[in-house]
Amino acid sequence: MNRLRTMKPAARQNLISYTLVTAAYLVIRLLQGQGMLSRSIQGQLVPICCYIVMALSLNLVVGISGELSLGHAGFMSVGAFSGVAAAVSLESGGVGSPAVRLVAAMAVGAVLAAAAGFIVGVPALRLQGDYLAIVTLAFGQIIVNILQCVYLGVDAGGLHFNFLDAELHMEGGVSIISGPKGTVSVTKIASFTAGFLLILVALAVVQNLVNSRAGRAIMATRDNRIATASVGINSTKYRLMAFVVAAALAGAAGALYGLNYSSVAPSKFDYNTSILVLVFVVLGGLGNMWGSIVAAAFLTALPETPAMRGLADYRMLVYAVVLILVMLGTNNPSVQSFLNGKLRRKKRRKEGAVK
Amino acid sequence: MKKKFLALLLALAMTLALAACGGGGAAGTIKIGGIGPLTGSTAQYGIATDEGAKIAIEEINALGGLQFELNGQDDEADGEKGVNAYNNLMDWGMQILYGCTTSGSCAAVAAESFGDRVFQLTPSASSTTVTEGHDNVFQLCFTDPNQGRTAADFIKNNGLAQKVAVIYNNSDDYSTGIYQGFKAQAETVGLEIVSTTTFPEDTTTDFSAQITDAYNNGAEMIFLPIYYTPASNILIQASQKGYDFTYFGCDGLDGILTLEGFDTSLAEGVYVLTPFDTASDAALRFIEKYKAATGSEPNQFAADGYDCMYALYAACQKAGVTADMTADQVCEALIPVFTDPGFSVDGLTGSGMQWGTNGEVSKDPLIVQITNGVYVSQ
């Protein structure tokens, strides 16, 4: 372990992460090219990427910053709806390239979700523990309720907005957001490659933040707030930093998600989705980015495997049982020590090979 | 520790063994993929459409001609899961898509089936976004705005009320869609909406504010384009306050008479716009079979599902669809049949059902009033 530390573990870890994610992407692309992936798996690639980014960003809040946030899907919804609005507006404005629209949508989604994160975070992060959890839970509910009343359309004259009333007074034009129906008739432009790139960006942002001066301040605040404050670190500022960065990443993931379906309802982003993402984070291990990636991919794909689909009525029952077993299994000390032992041995072997 | 490991391993083995026993289909049958919420908060609707369709398929297969096989998949009323279920059914070799039960999921799936050219018939997804721009998607139920318009016309023409209050669920596109249709038609025919109040999905127990607002504005009738569980609370709370309104509901209210723990005398005189005429002979036979199969009363969703299978059966026969055709061949064969003005289907939810090129059904709406605990046609 000492040798590892002297070799700039952060840089090494980052490199390993990027390489493994890229390798996974290339393998899937290769299989896809060979026609070896079923439609079921191909259809899940983009949502899995979105959930991975969601889990990575929530891990930054829950694992690194140590705050329990129960409204993460709320930021995803902000990103999804603003991203779709941006993409459709650009399309009707004559921007033909899907790649440009997708990137612009993700950027808009990230910025607006970050703004939402800032607005929620400034008052909320003065609270701690359970109180913060309740405020974020409420935020998640409020944003869904607001979005259910939003009507948005675009025509030659620009964007038309209305609240609670479906009448948009448009001349021709297309409807983008239609109250409880959510986004309607969206041209699907999300792609697996974009999802993969977003995961890389999210990993880079999170890992670099964690290994920076600010990241150490965030973790110090998590471990002991009073001690951190006593050495002159503004704990609210650093916690807010983690919270806003996580919101921005969730917004980008939401934009990608929104552009993968022709219609997404606001109710998709209720607390169930927030809890689902929290499950990914907890199952993968708090503060463990790799765990988040694996847990998000595994738990999203699991109930959709043909074997599970074949179970029909018992599908969700078995899913729950598997979830409990995995939780028990990963928390079992003997399993943990077994896994740790394996990993350590592997690491040592690798180190030997590098030297 | 060893014991625990063994238990864990055994549990996993059992899971896998369970997982292995799904799938498999007979040769020479047309594969119909069904999508609806079989789990979650809207499971009752998905299970009803699934069970209703199964009963029809049993009858159709017993006739000995075309053979159908239904593979019903769960979408939890969610678009993402709906698309997953759809992809899964495509891997299975689906030739015709039956579903989805709910509008939200259906809108996402319809875009996929349109791209792949798979014929889609939905029993109960009543939003207009489902069929808009999709020539391959057809509805067996009325669209939401259509129900609202029909209700406004009926109230006006029969002089049921002049001042109407509306309470709708603004987080539900079904409810919002009916309200929008109702509001537009009420303006046209000169019906006065004196109070419009809303509630979200998760606040369905206390309606005193909405009821009081309706009363204070002098409403004679409350229009309830909502599901029967919240509606039952409105009926109870208004009667507790001593207010005497007439009520008018749409097909979501169908089922209020069988709601557990609800005093049905409160529903006396309530008007319900429902396509399911439970008094006909065919309906009685269906109700009996459904009860025998599932142990519960069928609602309108089950009848919609039953009718869907017979509509598909009639169309497949007319188009000469065979089991060896691919999904897009079936789709191109069925679309002209469905949109043919000469093609009509008699079912439990209406006779002479026909479809336009926009995918919407045209059939006569049925309005019933609850009298002595049963539906009486108006």
Are the Cβ atoms of A318 and B18 closer than 8 angstroms? Answer: yes
| pLDDT attached to residue A354 | 47
Q: How far is CA B164 from CA A66, A164, A320, B159, B345, in A?
A: 53, 19, 47, 12, 35
Residue B140 gets the label, from left (phi > 0), alpha (psi -120 to 50) or beta, of alpha
- Segment A165-173 shows an average pLDDT of 83
- Segment A81-108 shows an average pLDDT of 94
List the single best residue of A262, A277, A324, A337 to mutate versus B (max B Cβ within 10 A): A262
Are the Cβ atoms of A268 and B91 closer than 8 angstroms? Answer: no
Percent residues over pLDDT 90 in chain A: 66
Are the Cβ atoms of A43 and B84 closer than 8 angstroms? Answer: yes
Which ipTM did the prediction report?
A: 0.89
Alpha-carbon Rg for chain B, nearest whole angstrom, is 22
- Distance between CA atoms of residues B233 and B248, nearest Å: 15
Q: Which residue has the higher pLDDT, A55 or B21?
A: A55
**CB within 8 Å of A346: residues ≥ 6 apart:** none
In chain B, residues with a C-beta closer than 8 Å to the C-beta of A42 are 87
In chain B, residues with a C-beta closer than 8 Å to the C-beta of A306 are 22-23, 88, 91
At A347, is the pLDDT very low, low, confident or very high (cuts 50, 70, 90)?
low
Q: Mean pLDDT in each 10-residue stretch from start to end of chain B (378 residues)? A: 52 47 56 93 89 96 93 93 95 95 94 96 93 94 92 93 93 91 94 93 88 94 92 94 93 83 90 85 93 90 95 95 94 95 92 92 88 85
Are the Cβ atoms of B129 and A184 closer than 8 angstroms? Answer: yes
Are the Cβ atoms of B8 and A325 closer than 8 angstroms? Answer: yes
**What single DSSP character describes residue A303?**
G
Alpha-carbon Rg for chain A, nearest whole angstrom, is 21
In chain B, residues with a C-beta closer than 8 Å to the C-beta of A38 are 87, 91
Q: If you write DSSP's letter for every residue of B222-288 in order, what string do you get? A: EEE-S-HHHHHHHHHHHHHHT---EEEE-GGGTTGGG-TT--GGGGTT-EEE-S--TTSHHHHHHHH
Q: Which residue has the higher pLDDT, A116 or B204?
A: A116
| pLDDT attached to residue A343 | 61
Beta-carbon-side half-sphere exposure of residue A31 (alpha carbons within 13 Å): 13
**What single DSSP character describes residue B191?**
-
CA distance A222 to chain B (A): 34
| pLDDT attached to residue A315 | 81
CA distance A184 to chain B (A): 7
pLDDT at A325 over 80: yes
| pLDDT attached to residue B143 | 92
Are the Cβ atoms of B80 and A184 closer than 8 angstroms? Answer: no
Beta-carbon-side half-sphere exposure of residue B69 (alpha carbons within 13 Å): 16
Token pair of A298 as six digits: 């595994």
**What single DSSP character describes residue A60?**
I
Which is nearest to B336 in space by CA: B352, B321, B351? B321
B4 to chain A, any CB pair closer than 8 A? The answer is yes
- Pick B19's closest partner by Cβ from A145, A164, A308: A308
According to DSSP, the residues that pair with B122 across neighbouring strands are: B139
Q: Are A48 and A300 in contact (CB under 8 A)?
A: yes
Are the Cβ atoms of B80 and A309 closer than 8 angstroms? Answer: no
| pLDDT attached to residue A352 | 53
| pLDDT attached to residue A306 | 84
